[in-house]
Every structure is written in structure tokens, then in C-alpha cells.
Structure 1
């Protein structure tokens, strides 16, 4: 994996952390320009995530004929264990901390649907959010994985077009007509296609190694994001996010020796899942003991970072390797028995 992409993944995760800090501690009422930026624009970290996800999935599967079931199984064992764990912890926190978290409600139906990546109305009454609120993005990720797994049935040159057609059918036909959940009627799903296009550019050598031009492009993209509302998402935030990803790839020669950036990128998924739990715990401490929110946040940041690193090492990487090794061993045994 490109160190530059890993670094950007880490920055995107921490932008979302700051966004949710403003939400949980200040109810999105910022007191300064930095707070305003993260309140209004911190969610763009999700857009960057989606572009990177399309890029990574494309680069990891290009020129490979992978059975759809194997692709999905690999994605499931990579994504699901950590998500299920933190969804369970969030459910327990909501139960234990009531009524201190009046807007957080959990019931068995929404909890099970959350685990199955099925969009449903949150019992707290604030929309189509799972028990672990940030999991809404994973519902889109799983849709992308399911559709991507199906394109392996077709020639490689046709796969992006077929995937685009499938996303269009679900988002702009089925979603907007009400035949599937309105959750999917969101043009944010097309950002996965932007990531695939970036992957095509990278594979064909269209992204050259530079310094000043990428930095200017990043500045222009951030300026655009800061001055535009998120809708239409694919245009106003998706395209600038793709520009940022391309620019960061151009900066790879200047970043490839910074192993810490790779580690931060490795931990970004756990940062994303874990941070709301830590922030809610910090908010409870702040409310009960009157501690300054920024002081609490200063404590939350290293807790999130350390917890995410442990989560990556023990759950994401460790459990994934054990499960994948066991599955590969079973597959090899079956193939040997049939030969």
C-alpha cells in the first residue's frame, strides 16, 4: 500500500474524530474558525475514505480472477469482527449510561439489523443510523463489496462500466423510486467509482511524481470543500476528495520513508470505529465533573490512538490472519481431496 494513501486515510479518520467531537461536546455549535471548519467540513473525511476504498479494492484485484465468494469472505473477515465488537460495546454503553445519553437508544431489532448491515431507522429517532452510528458508512461499503464481487464474472475491461451501471440502478432507480431503502438514494456511493478511476490513472502511469503542483491541488481542493455545501455530494465533495487522493499519490516519493504514517493509516479503521465510544465516555466525564471539553479531548486523542493500535494489532490484523489462514487451510484440504 502506498504510504501517501495510508497517511491520507489517517488524516481522514482524524478529521471525522474532530467532527464528532464538535457534535458530541458542542452539538455542532462552534466557537471559532477551526471548530467551524470541523463542524461543517469534517465529515468530508468519509468522502476521502470512499475514494480510497475504491482505489484500494481496484488495485488489490486488478488482473486477478477471484471467485465472488472468496472476495466477499475476505472482506467480511477483514471488516466484520471489529465492527461487531464495537457495536456490542456501544449497545452496552447506551444501556448502562441511560438516561445520560438521551438521544442514544438501542433495541434488539435495530441492533441485529446493524450487525447485518441493513439500514433501518434508529430508535433514537434521528434517521437511518445503526447502533454504532458511524457504521452507516459500512452499509455503503458492504453494498460496494457485494456489487464488486459480481463483476468478476465479466471481462476486466467491462467491470468498471458494469459496476457503475449497478450502482446507478440501485441509487437512482431503485433507491429514488422506493423499491429499496431510501438510504441508498445517495450519490455518495459514486465516490467508490472515483477511487477506481484514480486506480486506473495510477496503473497507467498518469500520476507523475511532483511536489508543488500536488500541494497546490490539495490547497485548491480544500478551498473548494470549504466554500461549497456537500450537496450534490459527488460533485462538491467527491471530486475534490479524488483530487486530494491523486495529489497525495504524486507526493509518494516524499512520504514513503515515514513508517509512522503507514502505521497511522493501518489503524485508521479502528480509529473510525472506536472514537465515538471514547468521545461519549469523555463527554460523560465532562458533564459530570465539569471538566473543560478541550482538556477532555486532549486526553481522548491518545486514548483513541492507543486503543486503535491495539485494536488493529489484536483484532484487525491478528484475528484476520488467523481466520484467513484457517480458511486457506480448509480450501487447500478440499482441493487436495478432489485431486
Structure 2
């Protein structure tokens, strides 16, 4: 994994953390320019995530042929356990502390559909959000994985076009015709394709290392995001996010070998899943004891960081290795039985 991409993944996760801090503690009402930036632009971390996801999935499956079921199983054991764990905690929090959390309601139907990555109306009345609200992005991720799993039926040179056609069919035909949830009609789904395009460019060796030109690219992406709203998500935030990812890859020599940035990137998924729970706990403490919100946030940050590191080491990586090892042994045993 490119360390520059890991660093950007970590930065994107923490931008979302700051965005939700402004939501939970201030209901998106900010007074200063920094707070206003995270209110209106902090959600762009999701767009960067999607571009990176497309890039990583493309690069990790190059020169690889596997059954579609095997690809999906690998993604499921990587993504699902941690998501289910934090969804269960959020469910328990809503059951026992619902009167204390504004606009947060739980229902068994929404909870079960959340676990299955099926979009449904949140009982709180604010849209198609799962029990663990940040899980809405994982509904798109799982769709992308499902569609990407079909590419292993085709020659490698055709795979990007197959994914593009599949995403177009889902978003522009099925979703807009009402055959599936309107949730999938959002043009944000095409940001995965931007990551695949970057992966193709990277594989061809067209991304040149540098400093000043990549920094200019990052600055251009940030300025564009700052001045444009996400009304046209793909154009206004998706393309600038792709430019930022591309520019960061060009800066890889500046990041190479940095173990801290690698760890921060590794922990970013757990940061994304865990942070809302910690922020809600901090908000409850701030409300009860009349604490300064920024002081509480200063405590929440290391709690999120350390909690995410532990979550990655024991829940994500540890469980993934055990489950993958078990599956590999099972497959080897089945192969040996067939050959015998």
C-alpha cells in the first residue's frame, strides 16, 4: 500500500470526525471559519474514501483471477465484523439512552436492514440512514464490491469497462426507474470509477514523482471543494478529490517508509466507525456537566485514536487473519479431498 494513500485515508477519516463533531455538539452552527469549513466541507472525506477505495480494489486485484464468491468473501470478512460490532453498540446505546440523544431512534427493521447493508428509512425521520449513521457509505461500498466481483468473469483489459457499465446500469437505470432503492441513484457511486482510472494511470507509470506540481494539484483540489457545494457531488467534490489522491501519489517519496502514517491509515476504518459513539458519549458528558465542547473534543480525539488502534489490531486485523486462515485451510482440505 502506498504510504501517501494511507496518510490521505487517515486525513479523510479525521475530517469526517471534525464534521460530525460540529454536527453533534453544535447542530452544524459554527461561528469561526475553521468550524464553518468542517460544517460545510468536512464530509468531503467520504468522497476521498470512495476514490481511494476504487484505487485500492483495482490495484489489489490486478493479475489476479479468483471466483467472484471468493472476492466477496474476502471483502465481507474484512468489512463486516467491525461494522456489525459498532452497529450493535450503537443499537444498545439507542435502547438505553434514547431519551438523551436528539433525533436518534431505533427500530428492529432498520437495525436488521442495516446489518444487511440494505438502505432503509431511519426511524428518526432524517433519511436513508442505518442504525450506525456513518454506515450509509458502506452501503455504497458493498454495492461496489458486489459489482466488482463480476469482473473476474472477463479478461483483465475489459474489467474497468464492465464495472463502469454495471454502475451505470444500477444508478441510472434500476435506481431511477424505481426497481431498486433511490439511494443508489446518487452520482457519488461514480467516484469509485475515478479511483480505478487513477489505478490504471498508476499501473502505466504515468504518475510522475514530484513536489511542487503535486502540491499545486492538492491546493487546486482544496480550493475547488471550498468554493463549490456538493449539489453536483461527482463534479464538484469527486473530481477534486481524485485530483488530490493523484497528487498525493506523486508525493510518495515524501511519505515512503513512514510507519506512523501507515498505522494511521490502517486505523482509519475503525476511526470512521468508532468516532460517532465516542462523540455522543462526549456530548452527553458535556451536557450533563456543562463542559466546554472543545475541551471535551480534545479528550475525545485521543480516545478515538487509541480505540481505533485497538479495534484495528484485535477486531479488524486479528479477526480477519483468523477467518481468512480458516477459509484457506478449508479450501485446501476440500481441494485435497477432490484430488484424492
Measured against the shorter chain, the TM-score band is over 0.9
- Deviation string, structure 1 residues 295-319 (Cα, Å, up to 9, x no partner): 0000000000000000000010000
Equivalent position of 1:36 in the other structure: 36
Runs of 4+ in 1 over 6 A off after TM superposition: none
CA distances 1:211-262 after superposition (whole Å, capped 9, x unpaired): 0110011011100000001121111100000000010000000111211000
1:310 corresponds to: 310
User: What TM-score results when the alignment is normalised by the length of structure 1?
Assistant: 0.99
**Counterpart in 1 of 2:98?**
98
- CA deviation after TM superposition for structure 1 residue 98, in Å: 2.0
How many residues are matched?
339
- Describe how 1:140-289 pairs up with structure 2 within 5 A: 140-289=140-289
Does structure 1 residue 334 correspond to structure 2 residue 324?
no
RMSD over equivalenced CA pairs, Å: 0.6
- Per-residue deviation, 1:263: 0.2
The 1-side partners of 2:256 and 2:60 are apart by: 19
Instruction: Give the Cα–Cα distance (whole angstroms) in 1 for the partners of residues 27 and 159 of structure 2.
Output: 43
Please give the secondary structure, in 2, of the residue aligned with 1:177: coil
Residue 174 of structure 1, CA deviation = 1.2
1:113 corresponds in structure 2 to 113
Give, in whole Å, the separation in 1 of the partners of 2:130 and 2:41. Answer: 22
Once the two structures are TM-superposed, the CA of residue 117 in structure 1 deviates from its matched residue by 0.2
SS in 2 for 1:320: helix
TM-score by length of 2: 0.99
Per mean C-alpha deviation after superposition, the further-off stretch among 17-26 and 170-179 is: 170-179
Offset from partner CA, 1:24-54 (integer Å, 9 cap, x none): 0000001100001000000000000000000
Matched, 1:55 2:55: yes
> How far apart, in 2, do the equivalents of 1:95 and 1:286 lie?
21
Give the superposition deviation at 1:162.
1.2
Q: Tell me how far 1:102 sits from its aligned partner.
A: 3.0
Distance 1:210 1:98 in 2: 52
In the aligned structure 1, how far is the partner of 2:157 from the partner of 2:134?
34
Identify the residue that residue 126 of structure 1 maps to in structure 2: 126
Aligned residue in 2 for 1:9:
9
Three-state SS of the structure 2 residue aligned to 1:232 is helix
Q: In 1, Cα distance between the equivalents of 2:140 and 2:120?
A: 13
CA distance in 1, matches of 2:95, 2:139: 24
Gaps of 5+ in 1: none
Find the aligned partners of 2:179 and 2:73 in 1 and give their Cα distance: 27
| 1:58-82 Cα deviation digits (max 9, x unpaired) | 0000111111000000000000000
Instruction: Report SS of the residue matched to 2:121.
Output: coil
The match for 1:319 is 319
Q: Distance in 1 between matches of 2:102 and 2:217?
A: 43
Deviation string, structure 1 residues 74-115 (Cα, Å, up to 9, x no partner): 000000000000000000111111211131111111100000
SS in structure 2 at match of 1:99: helix
- Over residues 105-141 of structure 1, what are the superposed CA-to-partner deviations in whole Å (9 max), with x where a residue is unaligned? 1111110000000000000100000000000000000
Does 2:299 align with 1:299? Answer: yes
Gapped runs of 5+ residues in structure 2?
A: none
What is the Cα deviation at residue 179 of structure 1?
A: 1.2
Name the CA distance, whole Å, in 2 between partners of 1:98 and 1:220: 43
